[in-house]
Amino acid sequence: MNEGQEKKENSFMIKIATFIVDKRNLFFVLYVFAIIFCLIAKDWVKVENDITVYLPETTETRQGLDVMNREFVTYGTAEVMIDHISYEHAGKLAMQIEGITGVTSVTFDDTPEHYKEASAMLSITFDGETTDDISVQAMREIKAKLADYDTYISSEVDNDSAASLAKEMQVVIAVAALIIVAVLLFTSHAYAEVPVLLITFIVAAVLNMGTNFLLGKISFISDSVTVVLQLALAIDYAIILCHRFTEEKESLPVREAAIVALSKAIPEISSSSMTTISGLAALAFMHFKIGQDLAVVLVKAIILSLLSVFTLMPGLLVVFNNLMEKTVHKNLVPKISFIGKFAVKTRYMIPPVFCVIVIVAFYFSNQCPYCFSQGNIESSKQNEQTIARNKIKEKFGSKNLVALVVPAGDYEAEGKILEALEQYDEVDSTLGLSNVEAMDGYVLTDALTPRQFAELTDLDYEVAKLLYSAYSINDENYGEIVKGLDTTKVPLIDMFLFLHEELDKGYVTLDSDMQKSIDDLYEQLHDAQLQLSTEDYSRMLVYLTLPEESQETYDFLEVIRGEIGKYYDDFYIVGNSTSNLDLSSSFATDNIIISVLSALFVIIILFFTFQSAGLPVLLIVVIEGSIFMNFSFPYLENTSLYFLGYLVVSSIQMGANIDYAIVISSRYMELKKEMEPKKAIVESLNQAFPTIITSGAILAAAGVLIGKLSSDGVISSIGTCLGRGTIISIILVMCVLPQILLLGDIIIEKTAFTMKVPDKVQRTSGAIYVDGRVRGYVSGIVDANIHGVIKGDMRAMVDTSDLTPMQEVPESITAIEMQQEIGNTEGIEANENEE
């Protein structure tokens, strides 16, 4: 960038900053209206609690779920375990519960599946779906009836997991806020800086929550973690502007200090945010669409944080300035020169050791035991549902349900499939219209002749023939009538449903006992049909003895596929096991996408930021090393890691934690122009430490809190990995990166592609205002950064575009008077130019 372009850009930034600062009251009013709107709009946001919704549309599980949700009714169910109870007492309770309005049936018997070691298992089916009022009210009555018993209930009915998770996150946010305030008080220059920072980010958080409704629907993961991550990831931006303002106030009035600070901070903060945004943007390329959901919500959060810092915070700094000046306190952040000196002494030792550790960590992280079933995730905190599910699983085992969806109409094929599957040891039981017993040993799909149907229902044979004749006419199957109805066969379920329809119309009459039997049977058939059969599809349920997630389970799914494939070309197998298989299949690809794209985006940004090919690679090595170390822990601890925790946290580490390395590297690159590299690295750590400890402590605390206080396994795994990864990143950038910079200095210099233009020697005399680096003769030799007035003769190379001649200046001129003098001088020059 030449001098003219730089002046033009600076002038443009000054104009923008001036407008924002001078129109601060207008921005305050706009933000008040925006906050009011967003507080209302945040209740419009729809939260999706089902993670399978985000499966790729090409997966069998997603397609099968779409068909089932569209075609079938799935009634609510519950598993209720009652401890320390006799079999007889449990049987009485089962009968009482079955009598509750809204309960369809209660299954309980003396088999080991329902009674074991003084514990009873009641399997309850409701009249409505999970969220229907009739099911919810019935569940509340059940809980009230069993309130005095040692009971564990596992059910989605009357279980608002979103509300429960929201309450947990409110606790996380409250505790995080206390930690953040403590950190800011420790690292700030004035106590009044803290409310400015908090107001800025509370506004940004409210704006983000209120605008989420524009996305239509967001996942429960994005809804839960965004506020905490937004604050932790974007706190740097406000700190940078705040520190700039403090520096500029030393020589400028408040208004001018705010303008200059903002004009300098906009490019700096925008550049810093690009790495975070790019790392998060990599999530959007995942096949598993939860990544896109997280990317959009978090990137929007970062952008709104930038907007708040750029347009709201400057006005707040001006308003709070007097209070800030009254609450200035001693710098509490200690110097860490000892770490810098340690880096100098160990520069030949630490990098080789680090390389060995990274190689080992890479191997361990590749052995990480990932899991894809939410039921297998362990969290530090457990909610009531998780405790109940684990207790039931421990006593009675768990059920692994797989649904088979096939084209409707071929009852015989369905029966053969279920019969074949029941022969496998891996199958506990099956359920379909083709194996549900109706009456006298017949199953619902058995085809009966008129005589068989008449004998079954005690109908007169001639009446039965008339019924079959009417059925054939209704189906426009006139051939059966022509050739004779004696041998015509109709599936029992179809004929029962047709008979009930004819009874309703009054075309057929039965005695009261048979009428009642037909009515009762119709209710059961109607419910079964809604759940298991539609005009286009049939659904069969298979209960496996295998766990939801294992290679043995995945192999048996192929066996099931083979059995169905004997009769159908198009079909779906749907269940938690198939969902886990689809997720594990896409994970390998998503892992590569996240790793490559997040690193590539960051390298490109760093390449242009530092104008060096070598430095970005050195920084990426350090952060990649922290990622490998972070995900070695699950392997070493022999604990399962939910795959989403790896994908999300690795992208955040690459996009956000790299900022810590950038801060140190930027200071080092600047300082080594003025001093030798060894001294430059010590001073770089001293200058960068306040920023790193502030941002790092907040992000680490946020992660640890989410991991410890959330009972949701997915959220907890993300928080745990984020907190641990941030701590590892801080340690590496403080204790390993300095040594790498010292050893890699020659690589950085050799791979730089900046054009070094010789400094222009300035010859002048009199009073000169200088803001830049001066090297040469000024009534003596000077090689320093100067911010002030030089009075006398000067012959030196000046690295600045701000070299302003001044009128005679008194010896005791103040900084503010100096700025006013500069303004007068510039005004005189402007008038001369106009003339």
pLDDT digits (tens, 9 = 90+) for 714-765: 888 889 999 999 999 999 999 999 999 999 888 888 887 754 444 444 455 5
pLDDT at 835 over 50: no
Higher-confidence position of 734 and 491: 734
**Cβ(371)–Cβ(377) below 8 Å:** yes
Higher-confidence position of 82 and 531: 82
* Chain length of the chain: 835
pLDDT at position 287 is: 87
Pairing assessment for the beta strands 217-219 and 572-575 based on DSSP bridges:
unpaired
Per the DSSP assignment, residues forming a β-bridge with 8 are: none
- In Å, what is the CA distance from 118 to each residue of 50, 79, 143, 407, 638? 35, 16, 20, 44, 34
What would the DSSP string read from start to end of 352-377?
HHHHHHHHHHHHHHHT--EE--GGG-
pLDDT at position 316 is: 95
Encode pLDDT of 530-541 as tens digits.
888 888 999 999
Encode pLDDT of 562-576 as tens digits.
999 999 999 999 999
Instruction: For residue 51, name the pLDDT band (cuts at 50, 70, 90).
Output: confident
For the purposes of burial, counting CB atoms within 10 Å of the CB of 166, is it exposed (0-12), middle (13-18) or buried (19 or more)? Answer: middle
Instruction: For residue 436, name the pLDDT band (cuts at 50, 70, 90).
Output: confident
Instruction: For residue 34, name the pLDDT band (cuts at 50, 70, 90).
Output: very high
Which residues neighbour 270 within 8 Å (Cβ) at sequence distance 6 or greater?
306
Range 125-132 average pLDDT: 89
Instruction: For residue 349, name the pLDDT band (cuts at 50, 70, 90).
Output: very high
Instruction: For residue 603, name the pLDDT band (cuts at 50, 70, 90).
Output: confident
pLDDT at 83 over 90: yes
pLDDT above 70: percentage of residues in the chain: 87
Question: Tokens for 603?
Answer: 């390298």
Question: Tokens for 734?
Answer: 């403080």
Judged by average pLDDT, the poorest of 89-103, 582-596, 630-644, 783-797 is 783-797
Instruction: For residue 834, name the pLDDT band (cuts at 50, 70, 90).
Output: very low
Instruction: For residue 297, name the pLDDT band (cuts at 50, 70, 90).
Output: very high
Alpha helices in 282-349 (DSSP H): 290-311, 313-319, 321-326, 337-345
* CA gap 563, 559 in Å, rounded: 6
Torsion of Cα atoms, 501 then 129 then 391 then 637, to 10°: 130
pLDDT at position 771 is: 60
pLDDT above 90: percentage of residues in the chain: 34
pLDDT at position 386 is: 83
Higher-confidence position of 628 and 459: 628
pLDDT at position 632 is: 95
Cα Dmax for the chain: 128
DSSP state of 582: H
* CA gap 14, 755 in Å, rounded: 27
Encode pLDDT of 247-266 as tens digits.
888 888 999 999 999 998 88
pLDDT at position 88 is: 93
Which residues neighbour 595 within 8 Å (Cβ) at sequence distance 6 or greater?
650
Encode pLDDT of 370-406 as tens digits.
888 877 777 777 878 888 888 888 888 878 899 999 9
Instruction: For residue 811, name the pLDDT band (cuts at 50, 70, 90).
Output: very low
Provide the angle, in degrees to the nearest 10, between the axes of the packed helices 220-248 and 643-652: 20
**Cβ(531)–Cβ(72) below 8 Å:** yes
**Top-confidence range, 301-310, 325-334, 462-471, 517-526:** 301-310
Q: Kindly list the strands in the beta sheet with 781-799, ordered across the sheet, starting from the edge strand earlier in the chain.
A: 781-799, 761-777, 803-806
* CA gap 623, 609 in Å, rounded: 17
Neighbours of 478 (CB within 10 A): 10
Instruction: For residue 766, name the pLDDT band (cuts at 50, 70, 90).
Output: low
Instruction: For residue 459, name the pLDDT band (cuts at 50, 70, 90).
Output: confident
| pTM reported for the whole predicted model | 0.77
pLDDT at 353 over 90: yes
Mean pLDDT of the chain: 83
- Of 674, 698, 590, the closest CA to residue 55 belongs to 590
* CA gap 488, 450 in Å, rounded: 7
Instruction: For residue 628, name the pLDDT band (cuts at 50, 70, 90).
Output: very high
pLDDT at 823 over 50: no
Residue 28: what residue type? F
DSSP state of 444: T
pLDDT at position 97 is: 94
Judged by average pLDDT, the poorest of 3-17, 102-116, 410-424 is 3-17
